């Protein structure tokens, strides 16, 4: 990190303090706006990827979703930019690396990031105006929140329906059992504060929210006095503040009203609650009850208290050897740990939760007693100093690691600090963990320290809720009937004038959605602002004992990343299906004479993580040819690099699969996770299903991680009730592993330059080429059309259409890639999201499987959406399009190609692209081809590849749409 000059604020701001945090390579500065009291936290960094976020404390006191609907509506037009959809328009006119908005339980935030200074300024201008000077048009409220509309909008004799983006989004969100569990637990853990309510909105209550309530909430919460500005990057704080002041803050005075959460009313004794959740599966309701226990621990404003609570949580739950986690994974009272396990530290008060799935109501008492007995044992006997030191090692590693592969690294730091800032705590100390970690290293030397934590935070804490959630197969139907009856009652009471109003509002909204705004008032970047070259990390190649080693010198802040990479061996169909479970078990079972719990503790002491996975891609010139590798990957602090390398070697050479209960537990836990993932990942599952017949890789993806894979996993889990089947599974894993061990390997090493010599020395001592086979995995060719409808436990739909296209080296690949964004921007967003009410929709080219896929997300419709996919193709071919629209789509692709990652992530990306034939030259040529795409290219490739009769279709829906799916000619399958 270069020397940071002394901060000098804008005259409208006062510097409160400035503090370097060497472990994060940043300098944090805190400022206060003189007039309004708005806070600004700036994280000065050498990074050219600058990040901005403005957050407002938002504390709804009902379930109507006002904060969430306001977040959507605020982005639909502002004073300076009175166009219908500036947020989505700017996504298209930008080189952003991140753009979004979040509604949390007690704050709403508007973040973005960009590497381009002009682009950053453009986005800042739009965001500031959207947040502080939003128009809040009533039609936008109706579109984004909720509205009444006749099923035939201009026919008041047709049935009334509820529509709205957030309304349907939350129907999807509340289809997730994990979401229902969490909201129900919070309702009882927080009897009096904002967390009692669903900040996203409960569909049952969203329709009660009025437009006036929305505007009143905006006036009460969206004021600079209630705002927290946070920035990261190499733009100075003063430059940011000049924009804040001139574009927003100079128009406001201080607001004396303080938005606050208040202290939660304490429970005087533990509470037991039983409620039901909707269970729409055809499976039996036996063993489908969820048992969860939650504690409220106290305010989340002291870093010492937070890290002490995290330490206790790690003691109990860090891995499968931890006492409480071990119990949750192995108890016969349930099939797997609950998705709600661990410490929630983003609220004003800390929450600790544990639970199990796949249980029965009759087990609730025994479960609670068992959990309390485990905590009592920790409180009485404590934990060894070695284990506590290993846990602090994990906290240190998480503090040091530089992320950026999902969210931008700067945004990750901002979101870490935001809860403390929201709760008027000290976010700077929350970022600088090292002093408190040193304090804890001393504290844990006292054997009574962890005992006292367990006793005070959990055993003697009376603010405890034990929640039993039981399955109800009729709950969804009752909810639908209640909504239907409500609409029928409204219909009966409608006057002719009110009916006319509903018709006219629908007409006005349709006209607004169809209106072509003058988007030239919005700022933009163009192709001239795109850098000529993409950044690709560079490494060096060497050989150690006949093993290829690829080393990348990256700024990893004291971490070492290492991977063993082997081509997949020839596998039977049965072995191929088992491969993902084998990979997970590889680092989750015993080694040599060590049990799996011994191994878990060893891993905790040595590495931040270790896991195995497969990496597959279609060839660059033939999607029917699959390149595939098995990888063992780990990361560690540099001081542990040799121990990490030894652990990797032991994992490969001494793993055993003879702990049968462990295998059963891993399969059961996988099943639970997969089944619970549908409502959050349904669009990807639908696309995977629709593409399954287009290539061997697409077919494998469906069999492993798609809907068909979930069905197979359920069957495997059920079969393991038979001990003979468990032994057979262990034998198959052993057979797969024997094949894997014979494969030639190569090593990927990522670290800072001064660690390379020590790493090479360790590798020299440890590894020698002992490969004995060249029999490689080569799946059979696949090419078939798919038409399938899946019935699952979801209140909303996920639709997909897929077409066979080309691989990345084909001349049409670039145009197809640009086409996805062009159809989304120009047609799908308006037709399916704005008009149809789905939460999202789009299209994309997948060069690995040579397929072009349409999708919708949390969608109230099925047939109408599938029609809109087709209509978008007709729109492309029959409409005159502008050069600006094409440029916007190209910018989106280039922005995605150029998006930065973490130091280690960029190295991994470079290595694997090269491994699969995506050389730097090939990647640069593809980028140049994208920049050269024309409108004629888009029309040509759509005519060539997107032929209606060749489309494959997959829909994930529920029983209420069974007939509609059948009428569409889809093969019905049940999860």
- The class of domain 787-974 in CATH terms is alpha beta
Question: What are the phi and psi torsion angles at 364 (to 5°)?
Answer: -60, -45
Question: What are the phi and psi torsion angles at 772 (to 5°)?
Answer: -130, 0
CA distances (Å), origin 31, targets 14, 22, 327, 883:
5, 20, 48, 44
Q: pLDDT tens for residues 652-676? A: 999 999 999 999 999 999 998 998 8
- What mean pLDDT do residues 761-770 have? 92
Question: What are the phi and psi torsion angles at 9 (to 5°)?
Answer: -75, 165
Q: What is the pLDDT of residue 1?
A: 45
Contacts 24+ apart (CB under 8 A), 527-531: 527/887, 527/890, 527/891, 527/931, 529/95, 529/116, 529/118, 529/119, 530/95, 530/891, 530/894, 530/931, 531/898
Question: What DSSP letter does each residue of 114-167 carry, written as one string?
Answer: ES-HHHHHHHHHHHHHHHHSB---HHHHHHHT-EEEESSTT-TTSPEEEE-HHH
Instruction: Kindly report, as residue ranges, where domains of CATH 3.30.830.10 are found in the chain.
Output: 13-176+187-258, 271-472, 540-681+694-766, 787-974
Contact 351, 296 (CB under 8 A): yes
Closest CA to 377 of 463, 458, 271, 296: 458
Asked if the model's pLDDT at residue 223 lies above 90, the reply is yes
Rounded Cα distance between 845 and 67, Å, is 35
Rounded Cα distance between 897 and 891, Å, is 10
Torsion of CA 26, 32, 36, 40, to 10 degrees: 0
- What mean pLDDT do residues 212-219 have? 96
CA distances (Å), origin 951, targets 268, 867, 945, 948:
61, 12, 10, 5
Q: What is the pLDDT of residue 398?
A: 84
Asked if the model's pLDDT at residue 560 lies above 70, the reply is yes
Q: pLDDT tens for residues 147-164? A: 999 999 889 999 999 999
Structure tokens at 348: 């004003």
Token match 């938002």: residue?
A: 58
- What mean pLDDT do residues 794-819 have? 96
Asked if the model's pLDDT at residue 775 lies above 50, the reply is yes
Contact 657, 583 (CB under 8 A): no
Contact 245, 60 (CB under 8 A): no
Asked if the model's pLDDT at residue 948 lies above 90, the reply is yes
Contact 735, 574 (CB under 8 A): no
Q: Is 552 exposed, middle or buried (0-12, 13-18, 19+ CB in 10 A)?
A: buried
Q: Is 272 helix (H, G, I), strand (E, B) or coil?
A: strand
Asked if the model's pLDDT at residue 603 lies above 90, the reply is yes
The pairing of beta strand 547-553 with beta strand 746-751: parallel
Closest CA to 121 of 407, 523, 530, 521: 523
Q: Is 205 exposed, middle or buried (0-12, 13-18, 19+ CB in 10 A)?
A: middle
Structure tokens at 135: 């128009």
Asked if the model's pLDDT at residue 192 lies above 80, the reply is yes
Q: What is the pLDDT of residue 3?
A: 52
Asked if the model's pLDDT at residue 343 lies above 90, the reply is yes
Q: Which secondary-structure segment (H or E) carries 368?
A: helix 364-381
3-state secondary structure 153-179: CCCCCCCEEEECHHHHHHHHHCCCHHH
C-alpha Rg value of the chain to the nearest Å: 28
Question: What DSSP letter does each residue of 447-501 carry, written as one string?
Answer: THHHHHHHIIIIIS---EEEEEEEEETTHHHHHHHHHHHHHHHHHHH--HHHHHH
Dihedral sign for Cα atoms in the order 911, 913, 917, 923:
negative
Query: Any idea what DSSP says for residue 258?
Result: -
Q: Which tops the pLDDT comparison, 651 or 7?
A: 651
The CATH fold assigned to 540-681+694-766 is Cytochrome Bc1 Complex; Chain A, domain 1 (3.30.830)
Provide the angle, in degrees to the nearest 10, between the axes of the packed helices 935-945 and 813-823: 100
Contact 261, 194 (CB under 8 A): yes
Q: What is the pLDDT of residue 260?
A: 86
Closest CA to 822 of 845, 804, 839, 799: 845
Query: Sheet holding 547-553: strands in order across?
Result: 540-544, 547-553, 746-751, 559-567, 622-637, 609-619
**What global pTM score does this model have?**
0.92
pLDDT above 90 coverage of the chain, percent: 86
Give the least confident one: 146-150, 170-174, 468-472, 887-891. 170-174
- What mean pLDDT do residues 586-607 have? 96
* Average pLDDT score over the chain: 94
Q: pLDDT tens for residues 36-52? A: 999 999 999 999 999 99
The reply to whether CATH 3.30.830.10 applies to domain 271-472 is yes
Rounded Cα distance between 229 and 110, Å, is 10
Collect all residues with Cβ–Cβ distance below 8 Å to 971 and sequence separation of at least 6: 787, 788, 789
Per-residue burial over 846-880, b = 16 or more CB atoms within 10 Å of its CB, e = otherwise: bbbbbbbbbbbbbbbbbebbbebbeebbebbeeee
Q: pLDDT tens for residues 453-500? A: 999 999 999 999 999 999 999 999 899 999 999 999 999 999 999 999
**Architecture of the domain delimited by 13-176+187-258:** 2-Layer Sandwich (3.30)
Q: What is the pLDDT of residue 186?
A: 96
Confidence of residue 5 (pLDDT cuts 50, 70, 90): low
Question: What are the phi and psi torsion angles at 840 (to 5°)?
Answer: -165, 165
Dihedral sign for Cα atoms in the order 927, 931, 937, 942:
positive
Q: What is the pLDDT of residue 2?
A: 46
Rounded Cα distance between 710 and 713, Å, is 5
pLDDT above 70 coverage of the chain, percent: 99
Closest CA to 614 of 750, 782, 445, 743: 743
Q: What is the pLDDT of residue 433?
A: 83
Torsion of CA 636, 642, 646, 651, to 10 degrees: 10
Question: What are the phi and psi torsion angles at 882 (to 5°)?
Answer: -95, 155
Query: Any idea what DSSP says for residue 780?
Result: P
Q: What is the pLDDT of residue 685?
A: 97
């Amino acid at each position: 990190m270069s020397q940071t000059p002394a901060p000098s604020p804008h005259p409208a701001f006062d510097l409160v303090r400035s503090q370097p945090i060497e472990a994060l390579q940043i300098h944090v500065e805190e400022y206060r706006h003189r007039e309004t009291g708005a806070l600004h936290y700036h994280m000065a960094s050498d990074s050219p990827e600058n990040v901005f976020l403005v957050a407002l404390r938002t504390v709804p006191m009902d379930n109507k979703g006002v904060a969430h609907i306001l977040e959507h509506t605020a982005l639909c037009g502002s004073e300076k930019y009175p166009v219908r959809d500036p947020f989505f328009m700017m996504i298209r006119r930008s080189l952003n690396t991140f753009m979004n908005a979040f509604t949390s339980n007690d704050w709403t935030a508007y973040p973005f990031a960009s590497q381009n200074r002009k682009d950053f300024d453009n986005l800042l201008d739009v965001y500031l105006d959207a947040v502080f000077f939003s128009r809040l048009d009533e039609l936008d409220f109706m579109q984004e929140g909720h509205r009444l509309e006749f099923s035939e909008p201009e026919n008041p004799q047709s049935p009334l329906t509820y529509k709205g983006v957030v309304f349907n989004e939350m129907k999807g969100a509340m289809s997730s059992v994990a979401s229902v569990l969490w909201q129900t637990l919070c309702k009882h853990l927080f009897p009096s504060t904002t967390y009692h309510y669903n900040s996203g909105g409960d569909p049952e209550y969203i329709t009660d929210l009025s437009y006036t309530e929305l505007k009143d909430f905006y006036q009460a919460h969206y004021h600079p006095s209630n705002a927290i500005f946070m920035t990261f990057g190499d733009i100075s704080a003063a430059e940011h503040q000049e924009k804040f002041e001139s574009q927003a803050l100079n128009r406001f005075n201080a607001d004396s009203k303080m938005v606050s959460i208040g202290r939660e009313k304490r429970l005087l004794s533990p509470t037991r609650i039983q409620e039901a959740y909707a269970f729409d599966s055809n499976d039996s309701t036996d063993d489908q009850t969820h048992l969860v226990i939650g504690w409220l621990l106290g305010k989340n404003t002291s870093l010492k208290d937070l890290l002490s609570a995290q330490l206790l949580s790690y003691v109990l739950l860090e891995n499968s050897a931890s006492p409480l986690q071990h119990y949750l994974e192995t108890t016969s009272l349930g099939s797997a740990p609950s998705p709600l396990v661990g410490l929630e530290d983003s609220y004003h008060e800390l929450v600790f939760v544990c639970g199990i799935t796949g249980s029965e109501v009759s087990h609730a008492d025994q479960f609670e007693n068992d959990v309390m007995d485990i905590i009592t044992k920790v409180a009485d006997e404590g934990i060894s100093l070695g284990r506590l030191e290993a846990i602090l090692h994990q906290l240190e590693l998480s503090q040091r690691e530089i992320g950026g592969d999902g969210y931008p690294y700067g945004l990750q730091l901002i979101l870490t600090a935001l809860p403390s800032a929201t709760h008027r705590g000290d976010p700077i100390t929350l970022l600088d963990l090292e002093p408190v970690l040193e304090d804890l290293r001393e504290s844990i030397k006292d054997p009574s320290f962890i005992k006292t934590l367990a006793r005070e935070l959990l055993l003697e804490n009376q603010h405890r809720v034990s929640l039993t959630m039981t399955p109800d197969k009729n709950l969804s139907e009752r909810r639908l009937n209640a909504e239907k009856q409500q609409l029928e009652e409204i219909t009966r009471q409608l006057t002719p004038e009110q009916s006319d109003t509903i018709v006219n509002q629908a007409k006005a909204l349709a006209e607004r959605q169809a209106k072509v705004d003058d988007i030239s008032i919005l700022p933009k970047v163009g192709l001239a602002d795109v850098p000529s070259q993409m950044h690709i990390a560079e490494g060096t190649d060497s050989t150690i004992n006949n093993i290829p080693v690829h080393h990348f010198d990256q700024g990893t802040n004291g971490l070492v990343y290492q991977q063993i990479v082997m081509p997949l061996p020839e596998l039977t169909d049965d072995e191929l299906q088992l491969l993902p479970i084998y990979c997970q078990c590889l680092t989750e079972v015993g080694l040599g004479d060590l049990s799996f719990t011994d191994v878990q503790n060893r891993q905790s002491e040595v590495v931040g993580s270790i896991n195995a996975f497969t990496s597959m891609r279609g060839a660059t010139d033939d999607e029917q040819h699959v390149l595939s590798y098995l990888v063992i990957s780990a990361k560690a602090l540099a001081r542990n690099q040799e121990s990490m390398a030894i652990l990797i070697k032991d994992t490969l050479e001494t793993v055993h699969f003879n702990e049968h209960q462990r295998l059963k537990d891993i399969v059961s836990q996988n099943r639970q996770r997969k089944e619970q993932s549908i409502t959050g990942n349904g669009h990807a599952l639908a696309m995977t299903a629709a593409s399954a017949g287009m290539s061997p890789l697409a077919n494998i993806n469906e069999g492993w991680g798609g809907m068909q894979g979930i069905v197979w996993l359920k069957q495997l889990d059920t079969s393991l009730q038979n001990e003979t089947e468990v032994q057979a599974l262990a034998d198959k894993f052993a057979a797969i592993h024997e094949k894997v061990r014979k494969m030639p390997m190569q090593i990927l090493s990522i670290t800072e330059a001064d660690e390379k010599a020590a790493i090479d020395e360790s590798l020299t001592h440890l590894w020698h080429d002992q490969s004995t086979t060249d029999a490689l995995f080569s799946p059979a060719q696949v090419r078939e059309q798919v038409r399938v409808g899946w019935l699952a436990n979801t209140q909303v739909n996920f639709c997909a259409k897929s077409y066979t296209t080309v691989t990345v080296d084909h001349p049409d690949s670039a145009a197809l890639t640009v086409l996805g964004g062009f159809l989304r921007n120009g047609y799908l967003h308006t037709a399916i999201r704005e008009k149809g009410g789905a939460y999202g929709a789009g299209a994309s080219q997948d060069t690995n499987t040579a397929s072009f896929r349409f999708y919708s997300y949390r969608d109230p419709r099925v047939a109408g959406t599938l029609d809109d996919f087709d209509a978008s193709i007709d729109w492309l071919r029959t409409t005159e399009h502008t050069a600006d629209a094409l440029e916007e789509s190209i910018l989106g692709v280039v922005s995605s190609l150029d998006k930065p990652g973490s130091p280690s992530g960029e190295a991994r990306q470079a290595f694997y692209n090269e491994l699969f034939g995506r050389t730097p030259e090939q990647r640069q040529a593809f980028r140049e081809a994208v920049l050269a795409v024309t409108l004629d290219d888009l029309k040509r490739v759509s005519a060539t590849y997107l032929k209606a009769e060749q489309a494959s279709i997959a829909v994930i829906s529920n029983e209420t749409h069974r007939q509609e799916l059948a009428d569409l000619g889809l093969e019905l399958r049940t999860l």
